[in-house]
Chains A and B, each alone.
Chain A
Amino acid sequence: MRELIPGVNVTDINDIDSKSRREFVKKALSGSALMLLVYAPGAAALHGRGTGWKQMSTEHRYAYVIDIHACIGWGGCIRACKQENHVPDNMFRTWLERYVITEDGEVYVDSPDGGLKGFPPLNDEIQSKTSISFFVPKMCNHCEHPPCVQVCPVGATFKSPEGFVLIDHAHCIGCAYCVQACPYGARFYNTEIGKSDKCSWCYHRVQDGKSPVCVEACPTGARKFGDLLDPDSDVAKILAGRQWAVLKPEVFTSPTCFYISLPHEVV
């Protein structure tokens, strides 16, 4: 499934033989050895240190799929997440947004209290000029190249072997650099504990054989979670269909939260 994950670039389709790829890797590595001597941190940054899971053996590679069409914006996922993960008020590990695109192409977006209590119906004025409207669940994208992990000065946040981007609250110094670095606003500074906080894909539940609580709570199947290494899993099948998109692809973070039927207006 690895090649389904974005970020593999080849200049020519014929280049995809393993030999030339190996050579490329060799060249890149010898170059980086030189750089390491000259400027270790820079080289480490360039070669994505901090996402060393690739070298580790793992039985699972998890991914998350969000189907925009299926979401009804009821907010049960947000409420469940708040309770499961003890998230303080006005902070969100996951939240819902409502997009309204009018006939003139104006984009109205709102997210009252993160969608915690669902959404009040739109007023008549906006409804009358609406061309399309939909809900967008948002959360940590558990990126393959997480900028938040890259900037953490102490290694308190990391990419786990199975694809989780996690925070070690016993080691976090609370500088909030990772909050700045996240392009998706998925991280927040938890003022109650004085540390950065974010979605963990319910690591504790998944290790216990359960789904993340938001997936569990979703009545319409808009949120799906599964193992990419298992070809029979929902997410593996959906990704094989190749009709997915990710948020802010221009920042090259390679999210492993994939969206189905994501309109281009969504940021």
Chain B
Amino acid sequence: MELPNHSPVNFIFPNDHEITWSLLIVIYPYITGLIAGAFVVSALYKVFKIKEFKCIEDFALVAAFCFGLFAALPLLAHLGQPQRALNIFFTPHASSAMSIFGYVYGSYMILLIIELWLVYRPYFILKVNATEGLEQRLWWLLTLGVTIYNPDSAKLDNKLEVFLAGIGIPWACALHGYVGFIFGSVKARAWWATPLQPLIFLLSAIVSGMAILLIMYTFIKWRQGARYDFVMIKKYATILWAVFILDFVLEILEVIFAAYEKGHHWSLIGPLLKGPLFETYVIGQLLILSTIPFFLLGYAALVDVKEKSLLYLANIGSFLLTLQVLLMRYNVVIGGQMVAKSERGFVKFHWDFFSGEGVLVCVAIFVMPFITYYVISQFIPIFEEEEDEITKPVERQARRFRRSLRENR
């Protein structure tokens, strides 16, 4: 294996033998990315008026919220002193990207919760009036005690929703751009330190968020036996394809630029990509998981494909893209730490399954948003088309109510 700076021996500083940021830090930007991606989908309808996405705007918002709840959990699990985690908020060091992330993330979650609350407020009010006892108290709490729906407030809420979605887009972008900044600003890590890093993280976040939403959508509709909205899927695949092209261009641009420049950067990254990252980066991320979805989604977007084929194309493409982004997070986070600070060797990464930072914990954290989504979906209606299957009259009433509100917009 070729080592950086033509070193004949793999020399690593004695403190550098362990990869300090392990798999938990791989899924942290991954889950954070899913929030940004999901939020952008809901905003595409609200702000950019892409009418095909009307049927998934609430779904995207709820999904973003579920991912948001668990975005900071990997970080917390990784901390040596998790009981002091709130120090990030109490004594925030303004020059630290990580501490500012705490505030960006916190405020973004508040924005997301307000947006969700406005969307579901009519439903909460209905529930208060249709339930009794403890259940009623809980729904009452969610209405903040305003249990009568004033039709004038519907228009107001609507405007506010659009406004929040509008500022939510730059906020979501800032959220994930900041994750890229956390890595990109570390000059000690050649593979991280590029000004493109925030942009790459942002675009890949949108790709992964959109991709995973489509898979969730298909899965939910399949389980419910409901019909798929193929017009939406077509549009969705097209936008996903376009965002992925942008994402991929930036990813590859960074490497090509460094390779052509042949500077200090490349003296470390070149051997890294030819050596320890060859399988996961060149073969996995670039050749397999980028090329195939590019053609699948491109076909779905450009050619007039039939319903079933469209569904398969879009979903297989999306699934591969979720893997592509996951692998990209791995390649960045772990790959960056593989370049030894001695600039004369590579640090080996040890796969770990059962330890506190192992695969098992990561999988456990990663399924939590989906479980949360399932639980939430038991309490609030997420898809409008569910109306036919809904038996409870209250919920049917809520549907009609919300739909009439929408039509009044």
* Residue positions of A touching B, CB distance < 8 A: 40-41, 44-45, 48-50, 90-92, 95, 97, 106-111, 113-114, 138, 147, 150-156, 171-177, 179-189, 193-195, 250-251, 267
B15 close to A91 (CB less than 8 A): yes
Instruction: Show 16 residue pairs from A and B whose CB-CB distance is below 8 angstroms, ordered by the A residue.
Output: A50-B95, A107-B5, A108-B8, A110-B9, A110-B11, A150-B96, A151-B185, A153-B88, A153-B99, A154-B92, A172-B80, A182-B188, A185-B16, A185-B340, A189-B18, A193-B80
Out of A40, A97, A138, A195, name the residue touching B80 (CB < 8 Å): A195
Q: Which B residues touch A109, using CB under 8 A?
A: 7, 9, 11, 342, 344
Q: Mark B1-37, 1 if CB is under 8 A from A, else 0.
A: 0000111110101111110110000000000000000
Residue contact B79 to A174, C-beta cutoff 8 Å:
yes
Asked whether, in the complex, the Cβ of B81 is within 8 Å of the Cβ of A147, the reply is no
- The answer to whether B144 has its CB under 8 Å from any CB of chain A is no
Q: Please judge, given known A-B contacts A155-B93, A175-B98, A194-B80, whether A185 and B344 are in contact too, CB under 8 Å.
A: no
* Cβ–Cβ < 8 Å partners of A110 in chain B: 9, 11
User: Within the assembled complex, what's the spacing in Å between the Cα atoms of A75 and B75?
Assistant: 38
- In the complex the two chains form, is B81's CB within 8 Å of A152's CB? no
**8 Å CB contacts to A: which residues of B66-109?**
75, 78-82, 84-85, 87-88, 90-100, 102
A114 to B182, CA, bound (A): 30
- Judged by a CB distance under 8 angstroms, whether B337 is at the interface is yes
**In the complex, the 10 A-B pairs of residues with the closest C-beta atoms, listed nearest first:** A174-B80, A194-B80, A185-B13, A153-B99, A183-B188, A188-B15, A153-B98, A114-B14, A109-B11, A154-B87
**Chain B: minimal CB distance from A91 (Å):** 6
- Out of B7, B79, B97, B341, which one reaches A185, CB within 8 Å? B341
How many Å from the CB of B272 to the closest CB on chain A? Answer: 16
Structural contact, B20 and A111, CB atoms closer than 8 A: no
**Chain A residues with CB below 8 A from B85, complex form:** 173
A49 with B95: CB separation less than 8 A: yes
A180 in contact with B81 given A114-B14, A185-B16 (CB within 8 Å)? no
Which residues of chain B are near A108, meaning CB under 8 Å? 8-9, 11
Question: B121 at the A/B interface (Cβ < 8 Å)?
Answer: no
Query: Which chain A residues lie closer than 8 Å to B84 at the CB level?
Result: 154, 171-174
For B189, the chain A residues whose CB sits under 8 A away are 180
Contact across chains for B97 and A151 when beta carbons are under 8 A apart: yes
Please measure, in the bound complex, the distance between the C-alpha atom of A108 and the C-alpha atom of B7, giving whole angstroms.
7
